[in-house]
Amino acid sequence: MVVGGPLASAYGKFLRRIAAGDERIVFTGPIYDDRLKELYSNALVYVHPSESEGQSVALLEGLAYGNCVVTSDTPESRETAEENAYYFRSGDPDDLKRVLERVISDPAGMEEMRRRARRHVETAYQWQDKIIQYEAMYATLGYRR
């Protein structure tokens, strides 16, 4: 299942072209709220192929739901997930395929990564800790007279 959009983009058209005729692949377009929570809750693997964004809420959600996360090897994804995800070379569909095949062929490793993902978010991304970090950062940006 491919969730999100815009599917009219060049990338979306590329995905549709390579999936043509494969009835197992469903393009949903954007999904929100309870339906999205249901997908996160039941995903075997969450793939996050971002090439350029900061710390992604979607990636954090994938980890927090205890998904086995496969994400591009951008600095932002690595900073967010640390050693709690599988990585593929950003923009390299052959490497993504290689990583997915490895992950799917190792159910025990997949389950271990799911446990680690949830634990990582529970320990590294608590709101109280983030508030303290933001307050400290903002304090360094204050005006000096």
pLDDT tens digits, 102-125: 999 999 999 999 999 999 999 998
Task: Tell whether the torsion through CA atoms of 82, 86, 89 and 93 is positive or negative.
Answer: negative
CA angle 16, 20, 23 (to 5 degrees): 110
Tell me, yes or no, whether 131 lies in a domain.
yes
Give me the number of domains the chain comprises.
Answer: 1
Question: What value does the mean pLDDT take over residues 20-42?
Answer: 92
For residue 15, tell me if it sits in a domain. Answer: no
Q: Is residue 96 part of a domain?
A: yes
- 11 lies in some domain: no
54 confidence band (pLDDT: 50, 70, 90): low
Query: What domain range is 97 assigned to?
Result: 31-140
99 inside domain: yes
> Exposed e or buried b for every residue in 24-45, given b needs 16+ CB within 10 A?
eeeeeeeeeeeebeebbeebeb
Q: Is residue 4 part of a domain?
A: no
Contact 55, 48 (CB under 8 A): no
**Cβ(109)–Cβ(70) under 8 Å?**
no
Q: Is 47 within a domain?
A: yes
Query: Is 61 inside a domain boundary?
Result: yes
pTM recorded for the entire structure: 0.81
CATH number of the domain that residue 97 is part of: 3.40.50.2000
Query: In this structure, are residues 34 and 59 in contact, taking their beta carbons and an 8 Å threshold?
Result: no
pLDDT-wise least confident of 10-14, 105-109, 127-131: 127-131
